[in-house]
Amino acid sequence: MSCNLVGPLPHFLGNMSSLTVLQLSGNGLSGGIPPSFNGLNLQILWLNNPTSGGLSGPIDVLTTMVQLNSVWLHGNQFSGVIPNSIGNLTSLKDLNLNQNQFVGLVPDGLANLALDSLTLNNNHLMGPIPKFKARNASFDSNAFCQSTPGVPCSAEVMALIEFLCGLNYPSTLVSKWSGNDPCRSWLGVSCGNDGKVSVINLPKYNLNGTLSHSVAKLESLVQIRLQNNNLWGSVPENWTSLKSLTELDLSGNNISPPLPKFSSIVKVAVDGNRLFNGNPSAAGAAPQDSPSSSTDSGSHVNGTSQLNQHKALKRSSTVSIVAPVASVAVIAFLLVIPLSMYCKKRRDAFKNSTSHVIHPRDASDSDSMVKVVVASNTNGSASTVTGSSTSRNSSGIGESHVIEAGNLIISVQVLRNVTNNFAPENELGRGGFGVVYKGELDDGTKIAVKRMEAGVISNKALDEFQAEIAVLSKVRHRHLVSLLGYSVEGNERILVYEYMPQGALSRHLFRWKTFELEPLSWKRRLNIALDVARGMDYLHNLAHKSFIHRDLKSSNILLGDDFKAKVSDFGLVKLAPDGERSVVTRLAGTFGYLAPEYAVTGKITTKADVFSFGVVLMELLTGMMALDEDRPEESQYLAAWFWHIKSNKEKLMAAIDPTLDRNEETFESIAIIAELAGHCTAREPSQRPDMSHAVNVLSPLVEKWKPIDDENEEYSGIDYSLPLNQMVKGWQDAEGKDSSYLNLEDSKGSIPARPTGFAESFTSADGR
């Protein structure tokens, strides 16, 4: 029983053939059940865990322990489907799987076991509730379609569950697909006027698996959009029977031929699938000479057949490319001599100058590649000219340590020049990571230069610093302040950001009188809330990986001249592990915005950012700071106080920022935002919505308040399904040349006094 044991279950326990009782309840065990337990003669196995975390993985090995009589696994993180072979445990009388992560249908093997007690509460089980043979069965808090055992699900629900099965029941969907009506808030599913599923829209959801035949049962489907996931196998033949289908987008996956022949009205996209050679023209008809075209493409393609198809494609491709390659080789040879002479001349010319190079980050598209050299003049100032990419210290002593990341690569010397050697008069503010300076290049481009304090990063290896920034620099969205680049030289570590002339949202909410500003109107606040929601939704769900901000607050929301909002400091977030949305880390953030589970356990998920967003909504509503010790004790913590007054119209109206016009029309949207704020700050993370839900709530409110001259709103101008370099180019075109840049003047003093009970080591905006 509880002995404060930690770590994985030892493998040697599986070698104890005489072991019949293993009771390890109430410890801190982790990992999975070892394979060595296979066939063990255990009769009692108690591994229940009263705290968070615990054991994980599948439980298939249990089905080999046929002597089991009592199994307690509750309170762990066991996952996957419950194996049907659990029905082999005919001696089993007591099974407790409460509070785990099991998914899928309840297998017949389990339903038919004559148990004395069966507990399945608090999992993610789906489908119908079977008529259990167990004497006592409990199964609350799952995702069953019905509440009564034996009542079947609708045909469309079962078809969608089978679709999930082919994708290995991804947690992002399992937690959102419950009940017997897919038209009611099922993530990525939309319905037509007839109440039938018409759209499956799940791009960039890290879906991993094969496409299910069951989709063909959704007869009213018009669009299937599954681009940029990790889908493999072939497209089921019976999908061609979908008579209403007009769009099938499977681009950016690992789908293999043959592709069934769809109706001419169906727009099919399979570009970016390696086995189609990235040729969109392959869409619409199966290859006539494909060796597998006569097979049933509706069945799952096994590994061997996929390999054979790939080899066949390589053979056919080889013949078709030999002639063009030979021609290109001849042309290239003829160009070598003049090109080499040209390069030598350019190289010699460049050696005679002392220069600092600024590179665009993404050079994958040669058409969009631009190189700008910032050359040091005799007076030490910086100027921009077109040139090639070499970086030298302007003093002529060695080379600067310049590392590619962000949209710009800038040497330390250039940053010294444009900030007048980091002069105090150019200081914009101080944050938990260092001092921010304003800089201006010779072409008038303004930048914000954050010089990291040595004490903050001295324990971070250079390799880790480079890797993190290199990944985060790929994040590009119009509502995220751009990390333009960075420089490393000796002990210097410097980040370069956009400069945002209107400063932080906090200045406009709490100190507008001090700065002689106009208070924000309600329309403007709604727009800011939507901008932030869109930026955070991109960070969580739409970027190439999932990012967790950890410190979303009004002083990290920056405004441009047009009051378009951008989230800042996201370049110092935590990167969630692949396929995950959570990470355990030392405490970081700002009191008043911290989600309770993060403050207590250090385990952070994207739902912690949702909590912080809810607090920001409360600030927009009330004009009050998230934490203010000068307020009465009951209202010092805005989130806690707001929860008590949000449902009372009179109290809510009294709490609204007095600078806002409070008429009935305004109150209607205020009430909606208040409800959303409460939803986002729910105590349990599982009860908080995703940021995509916040976008859906805010969008119609902003549309209602949108002025007539905003018809050409830029949100529709960016296609986030494009390759990164094309997307950035479109983003830059939409933004124009005079981009707004970062101002962190409001970041000073963002961490209030430490509440009682928090560790002494928590002394900055980030505990790293």
Q: Over the stretch 228-250, which tens digit does the pLDDT of each residue have?
A: 999 999 999 999 999 999 999 99
Strand order in the sheet with 136-138: 21-23, 44-46, 70-72, 94-96, 117-119, 136-138
pLDDT tens column, 44-72: 999 998 666 789 999 999 999 999 999 99
Cβ-contact 50, 74 below 8 angstroms: no
Residue 289 has pLDDT above 80, yes or no: no
Pairing of strands 557-559, 70-72: unpaired
Q: Hey, how many other C-beta atoms are within 10 angstroms of the C-beta on 364?
A: 11
Q: What is the pLDDT of residue 725?
A: 40
Closest CA relative to residue 440, chosen from 461, 426, 424: 426
Q: What is the pLDDT of residue 193?
A: 81
Which one of 249, 362, 531, 551 is the catalytic residue?
551
Question: Which tokens in the block code for residue 381?
Answer: 């100032």
- pLDDT value, residue 720: 36
- Distance, in Å, from the CA atom of 745 to the CA atom of 743, rounded to the nearest integer, reads 6
- The winner for highest mean pLDDT among 333-342, 361-370, 490-499, 568-577 is 490-499
Tokens encoding 566: 């951008």
Q: Which residues contact 267 (CB under 8 A, 6 or more apart)?
A: 246, 247, 248, 249
What is the rounded average pLDDT of the residues 363-387? 31
How many Å apart are CA 729 and CA 172, to the nearest integer?
31
Q: Is the CATH number of domain 155-301 3.80.10.10? A: yes
Q: What is the pLDDT of residues 250-263, one digit of tens each?
A: 999 999 888 999 99
CA angle (102 as vertex; 234, 603 as ends), nearest 5:
105
* CA 697 to each of CA 144, 361, 384, 669: distance values in angstroms, whole numbers, following the listed order: 26, 35, 45, 10
Q: What pLDDT band is residue 266 in, cutting at 50, 70 and 90?
A: very high
Residue 192 clears pLDDT 70, i.e. is over it: yes
Cα–Cα dist 268/232, whole Å:
16
Please state the rounded mean pLDDT for residues 476-485.
83
pLDDT at 2: 55
Most confident of 11-20, 83-92, 461-470, 749-758: 83-92
Contact yes or no for 359/374 (Cβ under 8 A): no
pLDDT the model gives residue 154 = 94
What secondary structure does DSSP assign to 610-668, as a single string? Answer: HHHHHHHHHHHHH---SB-TTS-GGGSBHHHHHHHHTT-HHHHHHHS-TTS---HHHHH
Mean pLDDT over all residues of the chain? Answer: 75
Q: What is the pLDDT of residue 743?
A: 34
Q: For residues 453 and 761, is the Cβ–Cβ distance under 8 A?
A: no
Segment 92-117 mean pLDDT? 96
Position 766, amino acid: D
Q: How far apart are CA 530 and CA 532, in angstroms?
A: 5
Best-predicted range by mean pLDDT (372-386, 421-435, 445-459, 683-697): 683-697
CA dist., res. 95 & res. 201, Å (int): 38
pLDDT at 578: 47
pLDDT in tens, 586-641: 566 788 999 998 888 878 889 999 999 999 999 999 999 999 988 988 889 999 99
pLDDT of residue 680: 96
Do the bridges between strand 189-191 and strand 208-210 make them parallel or antiparallel, or are there none, so unpaired?
unpaired
CA 433/CA 423 separation, integer angstroms? 18
Instruction: Tell me which long-range contacts 700-705 makes (C-beta under 8 A, separation of at least 24).
Output: 701/526, 701/530, 701/669, 701/672, 701/673, 702/526, 702/527, 702/530, 704/669, 705/522, 705/523, 705/526, 705/527, 705/669
The stretch 269-276 carries a mean pLDDT of 82
> What is the side-by-side order of every strand in the sheet holding 492-497?
408-409, 483-489, 492-497, 446-452, 434-440, 427-430
pLDDT at 83: 96
Q: Which CATH number fits domain 6-144: 3.40.190.10, 3.30.70.20, 3.40.50.410, 3.80.10.10?
A: 3.80.10.10
Q: How many CA atoms lie within 13 A of 40 on its CB side?
A: 24
Q: Please give the structure tokens belonging to residue 387.
A: 């040139």
Phi, psi of 218 (to 5 degrees): -85, 80
Q: b or e along 38-47 (b: 16 or more beta carbons within 10 Å of the residue's beta carbon)?
A: eebebbebbb
What backbone phi and psi angles, to 5 degrees, belong to 483?
-80, 105
pLDDT tens for each residue of 642-658: 998 988 888 998 999 99
The ranges of the chain annotated as CATH 3.80.10.10 are 6-144, 155-301
CA nearest to 631, candidates 621, 646, 641: 641
Q: What is the residue whose two structure tokens read 């002339």?
A: 501
**Tell me, what amino acid is at 560?**
G
Lowest mean pLDDT among 113-117, 328-332, 617-621, 675-679: 328-332
Q: How confident is the model at residue 268 (pLDDT cuts 50, 70, 90)?
A: very high
- Known binding residues for ATP are 450
What is the SS3 assignment for 480? strand
* Structure tokens given for 272: 């970016």
Q: Which of 91, 127, 137 is nearest to 106 (CA)?
A: 127
Residue 551 a catalytic site member: yes
Residue 318 clears pLDDT 70, i.e. is over it? no
- For residue 542, the model assigns a pLDDT of 74
Residue 225 Cα distances to 222, 247, 357, angstroms: 10, 8, 41
What is the spatial distance between Cα 178 and Cα 181, in angstroms, rounded to a whole number? 8
Range 13-21 average pLDDT:
92
Strands 483-489 and 408-409 turn out to be: parallel
| CB-count burial class (<10 Å; 0-12, 13-18, 19+) for 681 | buried
**Residue 748 structure tokens:** 């000073």
Question: Highest-confidence range of 410-424, 449-463, 720-734, by mean pLDDT?
Answer: 410-424
**Does the pLDDT of residue 525 top 70, yes or no?**
yes
- Identify the CA nearest to 448 among candidates 425, 429, 472, 424: 429
Q: Quote the CA–CA distance of 547 and 539 in Å, as a whole number.
A: 5
Return the half-sphere exposure (C-beta side, CA atoms, 13 A cut-off) of residue 117. Answer: 11
Mean pLDDT, range 73-87, rounded to an integer:
94
* 355-497 CATH: 3.30.200.20
Interatomic CA distance for residues 207 and 500, integer angstroms: 37
Amino acid identity for residue 648 in this structure: N
Asked if residue 717 lies in contact with residue 726, where contact means CB atoms within 8 angstroms, the answer is: no
Which of 557, 546, 523 is CA-nearest to residue 663? Answer: 523
Amino acid letter, residue 561: D
Instruction: Check residue 496 and report its DSSP letter.
Output: E
> Pairing relation of β-strands 565-567 and 557-559?
antiparallel
Q: How many beta carbons lie within 10 A of that of residue 140, not counting itself?
A: 11
Cα-Cα end-to-end distance for the chain: 36
- On the question of pLDDT at 524 being above 60, the answer is yes
Q: Is the pLDDT of residue 161 over 50?
A: yes
pLDDT the model gives residue 152: 95
Instruction: Answer for the pair 55, 78: CB distance below 8 angstroms, yes or no.
Output: yes
Q: What does the pLDDT average to over 523-546?
A: 89
Cα–Cα dist 51/213, whole Å:
41
pLDDT surpasses 80 at 15: yes
Cα 495 from Cα 570, distance rounded (Å): 12
Q: Is the preceding peptide bond at 723 cis, omega within 30 degrees of 0?
A: no
Sheet holding 254-255, edge to edge: 208-210, 230-233, 254-255
Percent with pLDDT over 90 in the chain: 43
Helix (H) or strand (E) holding 384: strand 382-386
Number of residues assigned to the chain? 768
Architecture of domain 519-709: Orthogonal Bundle (1.10)
Query: How does DSSP classify residue 514?
Result: T
Name the 3-class secondary structure at 487.
Answer: strand
Task: Look at 629 and 151; give whichever has higher pLDDT.
Answer: 151
Q: What is the mean pLDDT of residues 293-308?
A: 35
Are 561 and 502 in contact by the 8 Å Cβ rule? The answer is yes
Q: Give the pTM.
A: 0.45
Q: Of 653, 688, 646, which is closest to residue 667 (Cα–Cα)?
A: 653
C-alpha distances in Å from residue 132, one per residue of 108, 110, 138, 180, 623: 9, 8, 10, 20, 55
> Taking the alpha carbons of 578, 579, 584, 588 in that order, is the dihedral positive or negative?
positive
Contact yes or no for 725/359 (Cβ under 8 A): no
Lowest mean pLDDT among 217-226, 425-434, 511-520, 544-553: 425-434
Q: Where along the chain do the CATH 3.30.200.20 domains lie? A: 355-497
pLDDT given at position 444: 79
Cα 357 from Cα 497, distance rounded (Å): 17
Please give the helix or strand (H or E) that residue 531 lies within, else none: helix 522-537
Answer with the residue of higher pLDDT: 109 or 714. 109
